[in-house]
Structure 1
Amino acid sequence: MSPLPDYRPRQLSLGPLETEILNIVWELGCATVKEVHERILSDPDRELAYTSVTTVLNRLTNKGWLSCYKKGRVFYWEPLVSREEARAIKSYEQLHQFLAVSNPDIVASFADSLDTASLEQLEAIASRLEKIRRQREEQK
């Protein structure tokens, strides 16, 4: 289970191009505008200006997804959260939003309409939560 990280980006919502570029940076680990631009243009059906890549990288930095540093005359971008941490953060936010707007009857009705595999997942989650709570109590 991937723990919920202490750090969270300031803005979770991303557009399609932001998501694509963030995925490229995750794949590369650390990237320059040129590396990201070349990766996008490796698809012969794609066109994207170099300056557009720079703009999106800066937007991702402002949203708190990437950090940027300069080495010599080149700027480098690195992710501030891993892909797994991002999934955990987004899942947590979605669940929190669902539970915040729903009353127990709606949540129960929703859960009741799930298929067998989903119900088994919910039971596994409930079991895991119970185990975590017991461990916390034992540590006190």
Structure 2
Amino acid sequence: MAPLPDHRPKHLSVGPLEAEILAIVWELETVTVKDVHDRILADPDRELAYTSVTTVLNRLTTKGWLLCDKQNRSFTWRPRISQAQARALQAYEQLNQFLAVGNADVVAAFADSLDQASVEQLDAIAQRLKAVRQAREEK
């Protein structure tokens, strides 16, 4: 998994259309409104106003997911973080929310109900954490 990025979007939550457009931006790397609009309308069962795409791109920029570049009178958008970094951030937030339960018995009961593959994965994570902390202490 990718490391946590230095930049974090102001709002991690995105709606379905925002998520769809964000996926297009990650795929194409740099987009115009027309690029995104054409991609969405490639599905004959879809309808979406050009201005709606502009609104969503601007909203994703305000939330901190995208950067907007202006060249003359045209605008392009590009991601501020990669898709892998976004997944890492979302996993980090979900883990923090789970641990915020604060009740060790609840966390232990959950961990006790995991299958063997999950337990092995948790053991591997614990070993990796130990190695990272030990390396940090040695510096």
Give the TM-score taking structure 1 as reference length.
Answer: 0.96
Shift of 1:17: 0.4
Report the number of matched residues.
Answer: 139
What does 1:1-140 correspond to in 2, within 5 Å? 1-139=1-139
Does the residue aligned with 1:109 lie in a helix, a strand or coil? helix
User: Aligned equivalents of 1:36 and 1:102: distance in 2?
Assistant: 43
Does the residue aligned with 2:135 lie in a helix, a strand or coil? helix
Does the residue aligned with 2:64 lie in a helix, a strand or coil? coil
Q: What letter is aligned with 1:44?
A: P
CA RMSD of aligned residues (A): 0.9
Shift of 1:5: 1.2
User: Aligned equivalents of 1:42 and 1:19: distance in 2?
Assistant: 17
User: Aligned equivalents of 2:128 and 2:109: distance in 1?
Assistant: 22
Shift of 1:72: 2.1
User: Aligned equivalents of 1:124 and 1:46: distance in 2?
Assistant: 45
Give the TM-score taking structure 2 as reference length.
Answer: 0.96
Unaligned stretches of 5+ residues in structure 1:
none
Unaligned stretches of 5+ residues in structure 2:
none
Does the residue aligned with 1:75 lie in a helix, a strand or coil? strand
Shift of 1:102: 3.2
1:43-74 Cα deviation digits (max 9, x unpaired)? 11111110110110011011010111111221
Does the residue aligned with 1:101 lie in a helix, a strand or coil? coil
